[in-house]
């Protein structure tokens, strides 16, 4: 009985501890399209070297160096991501009414994963939502912190 309990506890700890350092080089980027203008609201990306690339709504492009804390934050988010469990799309069937369309591309050492959604998407997994918020959320995010500097 004790052995069975120990085995069950060991298996549970192994399944929940699937966090590992992402393979390098890695890059996470979001591009947008659609909306009222049809041009989206820009794009933003970060890579494992700490380079942040922003293209503002008006088309101006800028690059910045992420802080060590920001790079650690994104590395940890990528390490915790369960990309194999994500759907390809979280956009509802009816994409009505000039909503912004988003595409997240993650490239981890040449292995790519792409996910799309629109404003007001279908429910997304928590790990994906955490990455999306860190990249394009209200604040702080790559879009808000660096987008303002790029104008």
Q: Which domains are seen in the chain, by residue range?
A: 22-150 (3.30.1560)
pLDDT recorded at residue 39: 86
Give the bridge partners for 32, in sequence order. Answer: 102
Closest to 135 (Cα-Cα) out of 63, 73, 48, 61? 73
pTM of the complete model: 0.83
pLDDT recorded at residue 18: 53
Q: How far is CA 123 from CA 49, 60, 106, 136, in A?
A: 31, 32, 20, 17
pLDDT recorded at residue 135: 94
6, two tokens: 């120990």
Q: Pick left, alpha or beta for residue 32 (phi over 0 → left; psi -120 to 50 → alpha; otherwise beta).
A: beta
CA 57 to chain centre: 19
pLDDT recorded at residue 15: 42
pLDDT recorded at residue 57: 82
Ranges of the chain with pLDDT below 70: 1-19
pLDDT recorded at residue 1: 45
In degrees and rounded to multiples of 5, residue 3 shows phi and psi of -65, -40
pLDDT recorded at residue 124: 97
Q: How far is CA 89 from CA 115, 123, 124, 128, 134, in A?
A: 6, 11, 9, 12, 19
Q: 95-129, pLDDT tens digit by residue?
A: 888 899 999 999 999 999 999 999 889 999 999 99
SS3 99: coil
């Amino acid at each position: 009985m004790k052995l069975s309990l120990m085995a069950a506890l060991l298996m549970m700890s192994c399944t929940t501890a699937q966090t590992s350092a992402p393979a390098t080089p890695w890059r996470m980027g979001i591009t947008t399209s659609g909306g009222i203008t049809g041009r989206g609201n820009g794009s933003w990306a970060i890579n494992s070297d700490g380079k942040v690339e922003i293209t503002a709504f008006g088309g101006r492009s800028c690059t910045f160096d992420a802080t060590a804390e920001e790079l650690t934050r994104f590395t940890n988010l990528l390490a915790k991501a369960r990309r194999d469990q994500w759907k390809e799309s979280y956009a509802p069937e009816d994409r009505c009414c000039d909503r912004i369309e988003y595409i997240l591309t993650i490239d981890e050492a040449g292995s790519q994963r792409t996910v799309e959604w629109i404003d007001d998407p279908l429910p997304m997994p928590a790990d994906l939502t955490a990455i999306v918020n860190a990249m394009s959320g209200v604040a702080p995010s790559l879009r808000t912190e660096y987008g303002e500097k790029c104008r």
